[in-house]
Chains A and B, each alone.
Chain A
Amino acid sequence: MTSMETRTAGKIGDSPLRPDGTLKVTGEFAYSSDLWHDDMCWGVTLRSPHPHARIRGIDVSAALAVPGVHAVLTHEDVPGLNRVGLEHLDQPALAEDVVRYQGEPVALVAADHPETARRAAKRIVVDYEELPALTDPRRALHDDVPQVQPGGNLVRELKIRRGDPAPTAPVVVALDFEVGMQDQAFLGPESGLAVPDGEGGLDLYVATQWLHVDQQQVCRVLDLPPERARLHLAGVGGAFGGREDLSIHVHACLLAMHTGKPVKMSYARDESFFGHVHRHPAWLRYEFGASQEGELVYAKADILFDGGAYASSTTAVVGNGGTLGLGPYNIPSVTVDARGVYTNNPPCGAMRGFGCVQAAFAHEALMDELADRVGVDRVEIRARNGMREGDLNITGQVIDSAAPVAELIRTVRDLPLPPEAQGERDIRDLPGGAANSTHGEGVVRGIGYAVTYKNVGFSEGFDDYSTARVRLEMTGGEPVATVHTAAAEVGQGLITVEQQICRTELGIERVVVHPKNTMVGSGGSTSASRQTYVTGGAVKAACEAVRASVLARAASALGATGPRLDGDKIVSASGEVLASLADVLGDEAVEETVEWHHRPTFPIDPETGQGIAHVQYAFSAHRAVVDVDVELGLVKVVALDTAQDVGKAINPDAVVGQIQGGSAQGMGLALMEEIVVTDGKVRNPSFTDYLIPTILDMPPMQVKVLEYADPHAPYGVRGVGEPPTISSGPAVAAAIRAATGKALRRVPVRPEHITL
C-alpha cells in the first residue's frame, strides 16, 4: 500500500474525498491479489473433501514430481505450533490426523504457475477414513453424537437471569425462528504475497482486518519472533468480518520460507467460500410476556449458534447474541440461554452485526406479533418499550448516552412512502423484473419495521486499544503531518477520517497517511464498528501530544507562557503572533506515539449474566416497503428507509455510504443470501448460486442521520458500520409478512415459503 494524501482540506464534520479514490478509479491501487514479485511462485491449498475423516496417510511424491513444483508441504513441515484461532487455538494450520470440515486445509503446493500448482495438488494422495459427521447443531450436546473437538461440542454457554425467575403476564407470545448461513462475500479474494528477507525472516503483504493478531498467529506457527515476520496491509477488497481469521497468511509464509522465494496466493471464488468463516446460522426460541397494553413484563430466549468445526469468534458471537439478543427494549424480567456449539459444518465467526443480526430477526418478529395481539400499532409498541438514556439493559448496565429508540422508529415511519402502484407499471419495478413474470397481477404491497442496538468495540473485559504515531514537520515550506497506524482500511474510509482528525487537531492542511504495517503498535481490529472511535481516539490523542510538544518547544524558545497553535502560527494567549510553526520546528520533526484505550468493560457474571459488558451502544431503525408476487413468491423491495444515531458524523458522506451498504447486506440475508449446507457439504460455493443483491434488487433509500453525541467517546462518535445490517433484514421480513400474511419463521425467505 502506497502512502497517500490529498490536498483536499476537510476537518471533522466535512466530507473530504477519500485519498485513495483516484488510485482506485484508475486501476492503480494495489490490492492484495495484484501483487507481483520477480521470481515469485504461486501457492495453492489442498482441502478436505470430507466433513469429518481420519487421515491415515499423505503421499506427496507424485505432486513433487510435477515439473515446475517447488514445494509440497503438510503439517509435518510446520516449524512451530501447528495451531491457529482467534479465541481458542483449536485449528491446525494444516490438518494432522483428522479433518473436521469440508474445505479444511491439508497440504500446500508452490509452483511457478498457478495451474501447475493446482494440478500438482490434485496428485497428492490423502488416505482418508471417513468418520460419522455431526451436522445438526441441535443435536451437538446429545450424548450419542460424534465429538468434533477433544473437549466436547460446547464452545460457550451464556446465561442471563434478571428479575422475577418465574414471571407471568396476561399476554404471552412465542415463536421459533431460524436464520441461514450468510457469507461476507467481499469481492477481493483472500490473497497476499510472502517475501523472504534472506535472513530467516519475511514480509507478508496481505488483506486483513487486524495486522497484529495475524502477526502473532503467523509467528506462533512459523516459530519466529515478531520482528522477523513483518506484516503489511495490502489493498483490501472489502472484509465485513470475513478477514478476521487467517486465510492465506500462514500458508504463504510456510511456502516462502521453504522455497526461499516470494510466494503469492490468491483464492478463486469457490475456494473463498471455504477459505473464510461465515455468519453463524442460528435457531432461536423466544417468548414475550406483556401487559394488555403491550408493555413488556418478561422475555425468554433460547439461542443456538452453529459454530462449525472450529471456534473462531464463536465465544464473542454468543456473548453478543446473549447480552444483546432481546433488542433495545426495557424488560423487567429476563431469562436468556445462548449457546455456541461445534459441528462438522463450515466454521462460522465474524460477520457484520456479529450475533445481533440473528437475534434481531426473532425479537422483531415477536414484537410485531405482540403488537397485533394487544392491538397496538407496530411502531408505537416499539416506541413504548424502547430504551431511553439512563435505562438499564438486560445485563444491568446503565445506557449512559443517547438511546433514541422511539425517535428512530417514529422517524422512519414519518418518512415519505413510495407512491402507490397505479396503472401500467414498468416491469423492472415489479417482482421478477425483466423476467416479465407479472404486470402487477397478484402483487401485494407490505410495510415492515424493525429497530436494533449493537455494541461498539470489543466487550466483556477485552483491553481494546489502538496506537497512533503522528509526525509533524516542514516540507517544502509547509507543515505536513504523517499519521501512522496499523488499523486496517478495508474500504470504509478510515484513512479519510485519520486525515480529518489530524487537520482538525493540528490546524494544518497536508496530512499523509503512512502505509499500514506492524512497524507501529496495534490498531486493534477493523470490526465491531470500532475504528473511528478507537483509532480515531488514538489519532486525536497523538495529535494532542504533538501539539503539546510543539508548544512546549515554542514556550521555551520564545519565553512565552501558554502559547497556542493557530494554523501555521504560534500565537500568545491573547492571540498575538509570536512565531511561525516553521521557525519553531526548523529542520526537526516532532513525533509522538500514543496507545489509546477506551473505557474498560468487564466480564459478565457466569450465573446471572449481569455486568458492564459493553463500552457503547449504537441504535438504528428501518422501514421496508415490498411488493410481493404472491403467486410466484417473488419479492421486490420498493423502499428501504432508515434512521440511525451516529453520535457525531466525522465524515457524513462516508457515514451514509456505510448505512446504505450495510442495509443492503441485511436485506440480502432476508431475501436471498444463504450458504446451503447439506450433510456438512457446501452446495453453492459460487456467485452463480450464492446470490447477493444487485443494483436491480436494491431500492432507493432515504437515510436520516441523527447526531446525539456520546459524551464518553472522542468527538461524541458512535460506531456506524453494523447497525444497518441488523435492522434492515428484519424490516424486510416483516414487510413480506405484512404483504402475505405468512408467518415466515425462517430467513432467507424463499419463494416456496410464500407460495406454499
Chain B
Amino acid sequence: MRIELTVNGEHHEADDVWEGESLLYALRERLGLPGSKNACEQGECGSCTVYMDGVPVCSCLVAAGQAQGRDVTTVEGLAGDDGLDPVQQAFVDCGAVQCGFCTPGFLVSTHDLLARNPSPSDPEIREALAGNLCRCTGYEKILDAVRAAASAGAQA
C-alpha cells in the first residue's frame, strides 16, 4: 500500500508498504528518519515515542497505515532553526545522555510534559516519564535535565 503523511512539517510518501509495518518501521526504514528508536517494539520502553497530531504515542504500536494523513513529529523535528530545543540542550548539558538509545523517547515525552505542565514537581516528572526505560543513567541526571529544561523554559 501507499502511505502519505506529514513528518516534521514535511510531506512524505512511501510505496509498497506492507500492511504489518509499524509507523516506527516506516519512519526508520522508509522515510530515512531513524532517530526514533527500536528498543522493544512492543510499547514497553518508550524509545520510539513521537507526536502524532500533537499526542505522544509509541510509534511501534501504531500501524503505518494508521498514520495516513496524520501529522507526526519525531526527535529529528524538535530542534528549531536557532538550534537545539531547550529540552535537548538540557539533556546534553546535564549528562542525561550516556548510550543515548532511550534519549529520543525521553526528549519527546519531556517536551510533552513541559508543554502541559511547565514546572512539574519531581513526582510529576517521574509519573510522566514512567513509560520510558533507561538502562544507563539510573535516571538521576534525566531528572536534573527535566528540571533544567523547565527552569530554562520559565526564564524564556
Contact = CB atoms under 8 A, between A and B. Distances in A.
Interface of A: 15, 17-18, 20-22, 24-31, 33-34, 36, 113, 115, 184-189, 235-240, 266, 268-269, 426, 428-429, 434, 490-493, 653-654, 656-657, 660-665, 686-688, 692-696, 698, 700-701
A528 to B, nearest CB: 18
Interface in B126-143: 126-127, 129-143
Given A25-B107, A27-B74, A237 B138 contact: no
A428 B39 contact: no
A429 B127 CA distance: 11
B7 to A, nearest CB: 12
A24 B42 contact: no
B139 A698 contact: yes
A41 to B, nearest CB: 13
Given A24-B100, A25-B103, A25-B107, A238 B45 contact: no
Contacts of B153: none
A24 B45 contact: no
Nearest to A665: B135
Contacts of A694: 130-133, 139
B88 interface: yes
Nearest to A653: B95
20 contacts: A21-B92, A21-B100, A24-B97, A25-B84, A25-B92, A27-B33, A27-B104, A29-B100, A34-B34, A188-B99, A237-B39, A238-B101, A238-B136, A426-B123, A654-B95, A656-B95, A664-B138, A694-B130, A695-B130, A695-B134
Contacts of B78: 26
Contacts of A28: 35, 76
A686 B135 CA distance: 15
B138 A661 contact: yes
Contacts of B41: 268-269
A698 B103 CA distance: 18
Contact of A695 (B74, B75, B99, B126): B126
Interface string B75-98: 110110000100011011101011
B102 interface: yes
A688 B41 CA distance: 11
B88 A25 contact: yes
B99 A698 contact: no
Contacts of A662: 138
Given A657-B98, A696-B130, A31 B88 contact: no
B40 A269 contact: yes
Given A187-B102, A686-B40, A695-B142, A25 B137 contact: no
A164 B28 CA distance: 64
Contact of A491 (B34, B100, B133): B100
A660 B39 CA distance: 21
Contacts of A686: 40, 42, 44
Scoring B37, B38, B74, B127 by chain A CB atoms within 10 A of each residue's CB, the highest score goes to B38
Nearest to A21: B92
Given A660-B137, A687-B45, A115 B123 contact: no
B38 A189 contact: yes
Scoring B34, B45, B79, B142 by chain A CB atoms within 10 A of each residue's CB, the highest score goes to B34
A152 B134 CA distance: 40
B130 A33 contact: no
A115 B141 contact: no
Nearest to A18: B97
B148 to A, nearest CB: 13
B29 interface: yes
B123 A187 contact: no
Contact of A692 (B131, B133, B137): B133
Contacts of A665: 135
A661 B135 contact: yes
Contact of B37 (A22, A31, A656): A31
A20 B100 contact: yes
B59 interface: no
A269 to B, nearest CB: 4
Interface in B105-148: 107, 123, 125-127, 129-143
A26 B75 contact: yes
Contacts of A20: 100
B39 A25 contact: no
